[in-house]
A and B are shown apart, each in its own frame.
Chain A
Amino acid sequence: MSAYCSPLDIRQIEQNFAEINPAMSAPEALQEANRCLYCFDAPCTRACPTHIDVPAFIKKIASGNVTGAARVIFDANPIGASCARVCPVEVLCEGACVEKTLVKKPIEIGRLQRYATDHVMSNGTRIYEPGPRNGRSVAIIGSGPAGLSCASYLARTGYSVTVFERKEKAGGLDTYGMAEYKMPQSVSLSEVEHIAAMGVEFRLGVEICSDAEARSDGTVTFSDLMAEYDAVFLATGLGATNRLNIPGEDLPNVIDALKFIETIKTRDWHAVPLGRNVVVIGAGNTAIDAVTQAKRLGAEKVTLVYRRTEMDAPAYDYEMELARKDGVEFMWETTPIEILGDGAVSGIRVRQAGREFEVGCDQVIKAIGQQKMYSFFSDVARVETDEKGRVVVAENMQTSDPKVFAGGDCVNGGAEAVDASQMGKLAAMGIHEMLSGEKIEFAGAILRDPPKAPVDPNPH
């Protein structure tokens, strides 16, 4: 154990990292499920990016058909178990719940979804069998939410699917990027296993490179994929964390938030680099994950520094509230201009209201967003991107190359796992139609208004 790590004992840390939304007991789930009004054309379903039929799955919990409830969830969202834990439900389904309007207490949809999905994940129920093989194959680059979702739908439909992942574990940000108190890595990995059980092949530790980068030792090039597979789905996500471009940025003890969070995911608590006085730069949801976890690991002081106002902070209000409860300090309209230190960080120089001063700290965590993978798209995949570096796709998620589809953060510039999951679904539909000429529609792909029934032509 080095000194530059958590000062707390493991028992205390485990306690601090207990899930903030714990599992529901059966009586709790039953009572909550029965509180649901069973809305028609429900606002929660509309608010969910994957349009899970929320009232349907909740009523199934109430009727005792928990396996059926899980099926409704996975029909519309193959990563429904992790979304149950990491979705910003406050601004999605639960934010739209009519019980919130009626009695200021929305149905706990997220936790009910967890209850249903846990039920099948824990007892090994197989919800889907692979579809009858259709002889076609699809390569998916990236095993995060978009990739997993697309893989699941394609496997259900009969495709032979191979997912290429450059990291050692599959699952993308669901595996490496979620605050540990929201979801442990095991949930994401078990979701991957369920998808692998449908015959989806995961090739881990493989980075797709250009022909120019190809080596003889088994590297896989994009051209190989284009030659061997009938279609390719790009679900690469985003790249490295943005640079601050200020002096001192490369000092030891300056770490990027995603790396910090990724190290926590190992639950090797004392291997996580941690100062006593930590400054986190940025005010997005990742910045909040960094400040709250630094605090939970035992940092004495954690300060969030953001160059704009509190109103401008991209983090959700409830996330900000969590940080506040954890005792995090905030410095708004404060611009970092230099990270100070000789061999190690000793502070950060900031400008605030025209004044420059020093803030002492012994660790700086950068959480200022991720870069786009410009060179991958221009040099390797060779698909069109927009001025912000996002892959340009049509409604069916097809890129400028008809054989190549894309979805997730690389298309929307960075959003929720549930948004990526929906794009994976739409891409699977697009790929199937392109390859077979047949239209297929997965649950929740398209939100439709209910048709109006004919009225009685007889006067009454």
Chain B
Amino acid sequence: MADLSINFAGIKSPNPFWLASAPPTNMGSMIERAFDAGWGGAVWKTLGEPITNVSSRLAGLDQGPLRLLGLNNIELITDRPLEVNLREVYECKKKYPNNAVIVSLMVESKREAWHEIVKRSQDTGCDAFELNFGCPHGMSERGMGSAMGQVPEYTCMVTEWVKEVSELPVIVKLTPNVAHIVPPGRAAQKGGADAVSLINTINSVMGVDVDTFIPYPNVNGMAAHGGYCGTAVKPIALNMVSELARDEEFNIPISGIGGINTWRDAVEFMLLGAGSVQVCTAVMHYGYRIVEDMIDGLNTYLDSKGYASVNDIVGLSANRVTDWGNLDLNYVVKAHVNEEHCVRCNLCYVACEDGAHQSFEFVESNGHRYPRVIEAECVGCNLCALVCPSPGAITMERRDDGSNPQTWRERTAS
């Protein structure tokens, strides 16, 4: 059994699975139930000046029977009095000394305000702070959340204010609603952050009811853009994590967030450089219980790969993401149809005809009509293999001998 415990920027946790700051971490009793279910840590729902929320608040993106591939929300930070939350943080930490309790903070952009909330919060015995510079809806209209995270100078400045008084590790939670994630990441580091977490939610309008013409989520006939999260955002989050992980100037730990449903998702974030992961949407969908298989699956995975500690896999794939100009132009793969696994749905055929390079034809074989690849036309794009429903029916096979790798940078330099 592998060791799943982590020490993330000085924050100790029995496993890398944390609940992200969100509705599942709204209050002490919820977080305590989550710890009982197995969660290693939890980032408390953002504390600040209590707000008033609207109803309704959430909207989902479905595909066919798959519900909540994406979720968006317009809920704001905590609506509970600060002293109530702080008392519960204290009690929770006392009851669960081995779990990581991280307090998320967001107040107006004033040095005194940040100083005050940090000082009041660190008396609770919590393990760390997470600065919410990411919330893209509502709070940003008041100059908080992503309004701070979108300006690297502000990110740096507020981080410095917090570090002036904080005795605990400080994580800066970054917004993905920026053109490039590296400048705000570097700004957090420059401000003294001990780590960053990303991504917060993405600006989104979830859809429109085509019968009533009211967009979702309906607040008395109107809607506002909300923060998008869940499975659908995972690739965006992975890209941003990997951009920071391989940035030469950036060298503080990363807590990965965005579309993590399973241990496999978590492993992907860790391979690209995340030292811990945070989960929200999957818990909102299925409950705290999902952590059981995250732990079990991660354990099985680490054992099968022969890793003694989960920390051993952090960043293993980070350097395998590179710029396009560093990719080998002479690497050649071609699609191949394996008839014994082909169910003859012909999705490869039509995808290639209309979406790629017209590299398929039909052939009669064993009394059936099978799609076959015209290798001279195939550019090795993967599309056919991606649409194929039958495992093993289409394989991408190497057709160069590997003897002559050359990148675009090399080719244009010579």
Contact = CB atoms under 8 A, between A and B. Distances in A.
Contacts of A450: 349-350, 353
B397 interface: no
Nearest to A30: B65
A452 B205 CA distance: 40
A370 interface: no
Contacts of B349: 40-41, 450
Given A34-B64, A62-B64, A460 B379 contact: yes
A456 B358 contact: yes
B357 A37 contact: no
Given A62-B64, A455-B374, A460-B379, A37 B345 contact: yes
Contacts of A34: 64-65
A101 B341 CA distance: 10
Query: Chain B's interface: helix, strand, loop or mixed, by majority?
Result: loop
**Which among B343, B359, B379, B389 has the greatest number of chain A C-beta atoms within 10 A?**
B343
Given A34-B64, A40-B350, A456-B377, A98 B361 contact: no
Contact of A40 (B65, B345, B389, B390): B345
A43 interface: yes
B390 to A, nearest CB: 6
B300 interface: no
A39 interface: yes
A39 B358 contact: no
A455 B358 contact: yes
Contacts of B64: 30-31, 34, 62
Contacts, number: 57
B345 to A, nearest CB: 4
Contact of B377 (A38, A449, A455): A455
Q: Is the interface of A mostly helix, strand, loop or mixed?
A: loop
A397 B361 CA distance: 34
Interface string B386-411: 00011000000000000000000000
B33 to A, nearest CB: 31
Interface string B340-357: 000111110110011001
Interface in A30-83: 30-31, 34, 37-43, 62
Contacts of A218: none
A106 B346 CA distance: 16
A454 B357 CA distance: 10
Contacts of B379: 460
A40 B358 contact: no
Contacts of B362: 449
A456 B347 contact: no
Interface string B61-94: 0001100000000000000000000000000000
A446 B354 CA distance: 23
A348 to B, nearest CB: 44
Interface string A11-41: 0000000000000000000110010011111
A450 B374 CA distance: 17
Contacts of B389: 37, 98, 102
A452 B377 CA distance: 13
A455 B376 CA distance: 10
A98 B357 contact: no
Interface size class of A (residues with CB under 8 A): 20 to 34
Interface string B355-370: 0011101100000000
B65 A98 contact: no
A40 B350 CA distance: 6
Nearest to B66: A34
A453 interface: yes
Given A452-B361, A456-B358, A31 B65 contact: yes
A98 B344 contact: yes
A39 B346 contact: yes
Contacts of B347: 37-40
Given A449-B362, A455-B374, A456-B358, A98 B350 contact: no
B299 to A, nearest CB: 30
A11 B343 CA distance: 46
A453 B346 contact: no
Interface string A97-130: 0100110000000000000000000000000000
A55 to B, nearest CB: 9
Contact of B346 (A41, A101, A454, A455): A41
Nearest to B353: A453
Given A102-B389, A449-B362, A456-B357, A43 B377 contact: no
A452 B354 CA distance: 11
20 contacts: A30-B64, A34-B64, A34-B65, A37-B347, A39-B347, A40-B347, A41-B350, A42-B345, A42-B346, A43-B344, A43-B345, A98-B343, A98-B345, A101-B343, A449-B362, A452-B361, A453-B353, A455-B374, A456-B357, A460-B379
In order of increasing CB-CB distance, the 7 nearest A-B pairs are A34-B64, A40-B350, A98-B343, A39-B345, A40-B346, A101-B343, A98-B345
Interface of A: 30-31, 34, 37-43, 62, 98, 101-102, 449-450, 452-456, 460
